[in-house]
Amino acid sequence: MSVRHRSGVLVRNAALLAAAAHLAPAGTWLPGPRRALFPTLAGRGRRGHVALTFDDGPDPRTTPRFLQVLDELGVRATFFVLGDGVTRFPHTTLEIVRRGHELAVHGWTHSRPWLPTVSRDAHEVARAARAIRLATGAVPRWYRPPYGILTGGRWLAAARAGLTPVLWSAWGRDWTADATPGSVAAAVRRDLRGGATVLLHDTDRAAATGCWRATLAALPVLVAECRAAGLQVGPLAEHGIRHR
């Protein structure tokens, strides 16, 4: 084997290893392995509690509507926000905290991480956490990447920023154009039990236009069902998940 050929093999092998290190952790997106092998990542908390979480905000058009309904229900939640939205809509971001809710990091933008971008991931996650602190004074503790794709780079970025990754154990599939209050409630109900973390969305910024209306209408039903089952509904901070 020539030196040039050997060098080419080494470069290709290094590239394959880098890609594997980047993509392998993203397999935690699959709900079965996540629930069985990574209960904290799946958001499994104390049995008498359900963590209510929202992704993709803040959105001045829609987030205040969710805050109003949550006030009426007497429920507090965790909002995984995007850094670019925090800087564009600081007043909406601050209002989330003023209403007693918890802020967490969803990233800087709602991007898909197909290629390894370790340095960019670290920069953007830290930047989003800093934006939350500057806008509200709150120090975020949790991280959920867009689409729930937790690559090796994003896992490392969360660790460097002092954030604990949390995905979900139940979701409403509320980002589609055909979502209805009934379909959102039914989707959550399939995996809803004590200790669950529920994923919903308070905006359509990264989803079908207007789909947030189905989620908003489903909220009272879901909260009522939890309470009828003797379950408390609240933010991740009260869920019993250990922060790193």
From the list 22, 101, 106, 201, the catalytic residue is: 201
Instruction: Report the distance separating Cα 225 and Cα 202, nearest Å.
Output: 20
Beta bridge partners of residue 171, listed in sequence order: 199
- Catalytic residue of the set 55, 56, 174, 204: 55
CA–CA gap between residue 201 and residue 93 (Å, rounded): 15
16: which residues sit within 8 A by CB, 6+ positions away?
none
Q: How far is CA 20 from CA 73, 115, 125, 186, 229, in A?
A: 45, 11, 21, 36, 43
201 belongs to the catalytic site: yes
Asked if 59 is an active-site residue, the reply is no
Backbone φ and ψ for 43, nearest 5 degrees, come out as 80, 25
Q: So which residues are the catalytic ones?
A: 55, 201
